[in-house]
Amino acid sequence: MNPSDEDVSITQQELDDRALVVRSQRGEKAAFGELVRRYMQRAYFTALGITGSGEAALDLSQDAFIRAYRAIKKFEPDRPFFAWYYQILRNLCFNYLRDRKRHAAPFSEIGESRLSQIGDASQRPDEALQRKEIQEAVWQAMNRLKPEEREILILREFEGYSYNDIAGMLNIPAGTVMSRLYYARKSLRDQLSDLLKDPV
């Protein structure tokens, strides 16, 4: 894809979001419903990556949309909608973790949903088994990471956000995003190394 084409599509997405936000601010519930439909899957998987709980991710992402709807008239339409919404969602997720003081469920829930899509149906049985073992090791390693480390990896590696996107969502400089991502990847490699050393 030509970089300029990608820029156009991103700009169009932002313009579409802005129009929906403006309509929402005028009281059109259907317009906000379209924003929910557009971002509900991303919100769920991101919350799942942070909390490790499918049930909590569903509840928290829905709660965040409710709070965003209640506050929509205060939102500046020229800002990216999802970056603003994500701040609400992120606060809810980390409050949830602080309240529970532990992860409610293993990270493998998101692994089943996302990493299994990487597979190839034409793989030989031994290749499929090896891939499954690798996936399980990745899931276990992710589950051992700090929530902040999982968050940055989810946003970049699973959801595919750019450094600038993540910077806007976390309200930090892009350089800080790169630094956090570097250390999160290092932590993941360390956890994987420890797991792979363990006897099967």
pLDDT at 34: 94
Quick: pLDDT tens for 36-50: 999 999 999 899 888
* One domain for residues 177 and 156: yes
* One domain for residues 7 and 100: yes
Higher pLDDT, 89 or 130: 89
C-alpha to C-alpha distances, 97 to 52, 83, 147, 195, nearest whole angstrom: 10, 21, 8, 25
Give the separation between CA 89 and CA 67, rounded to whole angstroms: 9
* One domain for residues 1 and 92: yes
pLDDT at 135: 67
pLDDT at 168 over 80: yes
* One domain for residues 84 and 122: no
Number of domains, the chain: 2
pLDDT at 166: 93
Q: Which of 73, 105, 137 is the endpoint of a domain?
A: 105
* One domain for residues 101 and 2: yes
Tokens of 139: 């899931």
- Under 8 Å CB-to-CB from 103, ≥6 apart: which residues? 51, 52, 53, 97, 143
Instruction: Give the mean pLDDT of 157-173.
Output: 89
Q: Which of 48, 75, 105 is the endpoint of a domain?
A: 105
Q: Which of 54, 77, 105 is the endpoint of a domain?
A: 105
CB atoms within 10 A of CB 169: 22
Quick: pLDDT tens for 111-145: 555 544 444 445 555 565 566 666 677 777 888 88
* One domain for residues 128 and 83: no
pLDDT band at 65 (very low <50, low <70, confident <90, very high): very high
pTM (whole model) above 0.75? no
Give the separation between CA 182 and CA 80, rounded to whole angstroms: 26
